[in-house]
Chain A
Amino acid sequence: MMILAEITGSLGSIGYGLAAIGPGVGIGIIFGNGVQAIARQPEAYGVIRQNMILGFALAEALALIGFVAPFVFGA
């Protein structure tokens, strides 16, 4: 079989880099819109912060799974 392209080295770190793209964009959107919402309506700070942190936690989990997967499944 002819090999057209090959990657050597730490595949885990490449995987983590790929896995971090989506959550990175997502967390940016969450906090950007959260700050905007607080600026528009400062009296709703409590509710907005709760939901902001909740959304942040859900998005962040994806990146962390990408970080842990190479350790769990080996190189």
Chain B
Amino acid sequence: MANFISLSEVTCKFGDNECPFPAPGAGIFEWQPLASFNLLGFTSIEITKPVILAMLCTVIVSVVFIAAFAKPKLVPTGLQNVVEVGYLFVRDNIAREIMGKDGDRYVPLLTSLFFFVWSMNVMAIIPGAQFPVSSRFAFPVVLALVVWVVYMYLGMKNQGVVGYFKNIAFPPGMPIGIYPLLTPIELLSTLIIRPVTLAIRLFANMFAGHLLITVFTVSAWYLLNLTNFVGFVSVIGYVGSVVSFIVTIVLTGFEMFIQALQAFIFTLLTAVFISSSLHAEH
């Protein structure tokens, strides 16, 4: 990974005109462990900034929901009112829209997923945190594994172990000749491609968004170096720096939209997978 400069390795000083543009790369996603300890003598557990942010997200989501619904009232007031809007959004726009009335059983899972993924994404623009937790691949992978286990379990429970795999591999109502082509595609798609793309989609969106914002932030700083020159070059430096700074702000607004959209898509796809496990295609 020698091509990608980590920002911590950049030795450029402000006003240093010989310095090449320190393009941020995959290095900005690597964090030094803040603390590490051994488990059972052979596994070392390292606590990095993303881990701390993920724990913070868990605490925030749990505390908000417990505070809102610890003593639920029939006529909601204050915090319960606000959180109920979020809950109803997941129930009406995701669960019932995809699964109908059957979806009501899975609203708690979908609500937790939605708000946990969203809070992990929003950490990208919280001052002081400014790192999307889901841009570390392990976090979306674990969430996708949870979803995978849930829909596999529900499929086997509702259609039987044999029936579920039979329904995946041989969807009924097809011409017999198409099965040699269809069976491997369907098996691969349901068992492997679904969870993999679920994880990659969230990871890649957050990765790309964070990288974009960083590139424009660094370039706003870097182009100020050009203002040390005289004449036209310094004008380019001022204009470019101001434009980069404005683009950073605009992109931050765009990222807020993308963060909510990705959390929504993650939950929506979970609902689609669960709904395909509940009923066999016929």
Contact = CB atoms under 8 A, between A and B. Distances in A.
B79 interface: no
B83 interface: no
Contact of A61 (B1, B200, B272): B200
Contact of B208 (A50, A54, A57, A64): A64
Say what secondary structure dominates the interface of chain A.
Answer: helix
A7 B3 CA distance: 17
Interface in A48-75: 50, 53-54, 57-58, 60-61, 64-65, 67-68, 71, 74-75
A26 B173 CA distance: 28
Interface residues of A, number: 16
A61 B97 contact: no
A64 B97 contact: no
Contacts of B93: 46, 50
A67 B208 contact: yes
A74 to B, nearest CB: 6
Say what secondary structure dominates the interface of chain B.
Answer: helix
B201 A74 contact: no
Contacts, number: 47
A67 B204 contact: yes
Interface string B256-271: 0000010011001100
A4 interface: no
A35 to B, nearest CB: 17
A74 B204 contact: no
Contacts of B3: 74-75
Contacts of A58: 197
Interface string B181-218: 00000000000000001001101110110000000000
A71 B25 contact: yes
Contacts of B201: 57, 60-61, 64
B204 A65 contact: yes
B216 to A, nearest CB: 16
Interface string B84-99: 0000000001000110
28 contacts: A46-B97, A47-B97, A50-B93, A50-B97, A50-B98, A50-B268, A53-B261, A53-B265, A54-B268, A54-B269, A54-B272, A57-B265, A57-B268, A60-B201, A61-B201, A64-B200, A64-B201, A64-B205, A65-B200, A67-B204, A67-B207, A68-B203, A68-B207, A68-B208, A71-B4, A71-B26, A71-B207, A75-B3
Interchain residue pairs A-B with the least CB separation, the first 7: A64-B204, A57-B265, A71-B26, A61-B201, A68-B204, A75-B3, A61-B197
Given A54-B269, A58-B197, A74-B3, 9 more contacts: A46-B97, A50-B97, A53-B268, A64-B201, A65-B200, A65-B204, A68-B203, A71-B25, A74-B1
Interface of A: 46-47, 50, 53-54, 57-58, 60-61, 64-65, 67-68, 71, 74-75
